[in-house]
Amino acid sequence: MNAARAIDGKAAAAALREKVAAGAREFARKALRKPGLHVVLVGEDPASAVYVGAKEKALHKAGMDGAVHRLPASTGEDELLRLVRKLNADPTVDGILVQLPLPDHLDEAKVLDTIDPEKDVDGFHVVNAGKLAVGKEALVPCTPAGCIRLIKEERGDLSGLHAVVIGRSNIVGKPMAQLLLAENATVTIAHSRTRNLPELAKTADILVAAVGRPEMVKGDWVKDGATVIDVGINRLAPAEDGAKGRLVGDVAYDEAARHAAAITPVPGGVGPMTIAMLLANTLVAAHAREGLEAPTL
Ligand code: GUN
C-alpha cells in the first residue's frame, strides 16, 4: 500500500468551532445572553493545567461566557460538591466540566454524578452514559464524539464495517463503541486481557486505539485500507541532551501509515476535535435549557 492520508483534525476542529461560534452569536441574539461554560480544575497536574488553559481560551474565542475555577489540591469533597451545586443552580451556566483526574482523596464518580446531567457537557454522568447506551439523545463524551465525526467524514456510511476499539475506559472506549454501534458498525471492544490482539486488530476496517501506551499498535496490526484513529497522547522520555520527549500516539504512525488508507496524526488528529466538541456540547445544552432548537453542527 501507499502511505495513508493524514486525517486533518485541526482543520475539522476549526470548521466545527466556526459553526459553534456562529451558533453562539445566534443564541445570544435569541436568549439575550451568551452560552456559559464553567471548568473546574482541582490541583496542579501540569497536563490538566495545559488542557484547561486551552479550554478557557477556546470558550471565549467561541463567543461564550464562563470561567475556570482553580482550586488547591487540598480542596475537600464537601467544598468541591458545594461549587458543583452552585453551578448547577446558576441559570447563566449551561455547561460544567470537572477536569480529571481529581486528587486521590476525592471520589471522582460522586463528583461527576453531582453535576446536573443537562449541564454535563463532558457526558460522563451515568444518566448521559445510560441514554447513549439505549440510543436516546444524550450529551456525548467529547473525545469519542470527535472521533465519530472524523470517521464518518472519512467513511460515510459505516453499516456493516468492522470496528475494533482498543481500550474500555468510560471516557473513550465504551462511548466510542456505542457511537460506532449506533452507526451500524460491527463493534469489538478489545482491552489488556484480549487474546490475539494483533490478529484481531488486523480484521478492523476502523481501528480506534485508546489505551495510553506509546506506539503499541504496530504496522502489521493494521488491515490494508483501514481507517486508523489514534486517541493516545504520550510524551516519550526526554532526550539525553535534556530536550523534551516527542509526543506520540498509541499507534506506531509510520508503520501503520504503510497499511492504512487514512490515519490521524499525533498531534493534530483527535486532540483538536475534543475541545471543539466540548464547545458544541455547550451550545446544544444552552439551547436545550432555553427551549430553543439547536443548529445542526
Ligand atoms: N481529562 C482528560 N480528558 C478529559 C476530558 O475529556 N474531560 C475531563 N473532564 N477531564 C479529562
pLDDT at 6: 98
> Quick one: cell of 87?
453551578
Confidence of residue 203 (pLDDT cuts 50, 70, 90): very high
130 within a domain of the structure (yes/no): no
User: Could you tell me which residue, 244 or 249, shows the higher pLDDT?
Assistant: 249
Residue 277: is its pLDDT beyond 80? yes
Judge whether 99 counts as a catalytic residue: yes
pLDDT at 242: 87
* Claim to verify: residue 115 and residue 72 sit in the same structural domain: yes
pLDDT at 1: 60
> Which residue's CA is the closest to the ligand 1 atom numbered 3?
100
pLDDT at 240: 87
User: What proportion of the chain, given as a percentage, has pLDDT over 90?
Assistant: 97
Residue 99, ligand 1, Cβ within 6 A: yes
Residue 44: is its pLDDT beyond 80? yes
Task: Report the CATH number that the domain containing residue 83 is assigned in CATH.
Answer: 3.40.50.10860
* Claim to verify: residue 184 and residue 260 sit in the same structural domain: yes
Judge whether 178 counts as a catalytic residue: no
| Residue 275: CA count within 13 A, CB half-sphere | 25
Task: Report the CATH number that the domain containing residue 236 is assigned in CATH.
Answer: 3.40.50.720
125 within a domain of the structure (yes/no): no
Domain total in the chain: 2
C-alpha to C-alpha distance for 83 and 86, rounded to whole angstroms: 5
Question: What digits encode the pLDDT tens for the residues 67-121?
Answer: 999 999 999 999 999 999 999 999 999 999 999 999 999 999 999 999 999 999 9
* Claim to verify: residue 194 and residue 251 sit in the same structural domain: yes
Host domain of residue 83: 32-119
* Claim to verify: residue 77 and residue 198 sit in the same structural domain: no
Question: What digits encode the pLDDT tens for the residues 228-245?
Answer: 999 999 999 998 888 889
225-238: b or e for each residue (b if 16 or more CB lie within 10 Å)? ebbbbbbbbbeeee
Question: What digits encode the pLDDT tens for the residues 138-169?
Answer: 999 999 999 999 999 999 999 999 999 999 99
Atom of ligand 1 nearest to the CA of 142: 6
The Cα-based distances of 59 to 39, 88, 99, 272, 285 in angstroms read 10, 19, 15, 13, 14
* Claim to verify: residue 44 and residue 160 sit in the same structural domain: no
Residue 288, ligand 1, Cβ within 6 A: no
Q: How far is the CA of 99 from the centre of ligand 1 (A)?
A: 5
Residues with Cβ < 8 Å from 87, sequence gap 6 or more? 38, 40, 93, 96, 119
pLDDT at 146: 98
* Claim to verify: residue 107 and residue 156 sit in the same structural domain: no
For the beta sheet containing 262-263, the strands, ordered from the edge strand earlier in sequence to the opposite edge, are: 5-6, 262-263, 227-230, 206-209, 162-166, 186-190
| Residue 7: CA count within 13 A, CB half-sphere | 32
Q: In testing the pocket of ligand 1, which one of 45, 55, 97, 176 has its CB within 8 Å of the most ligand atoms?
A: 97
* Claim to verify: residue 107 and residue 176 sit in the same structural domain: no
Q: Which of 55, 119, 174, 223 is catalytic?
A: 55
* Claim to verify: residue 169 and residue 239 sit in the same structural domain: yes
* Claim to verify: residue 259 and residue 160 sit in the same structural domain: yes
136 within a domain of the structure (yes/no): no
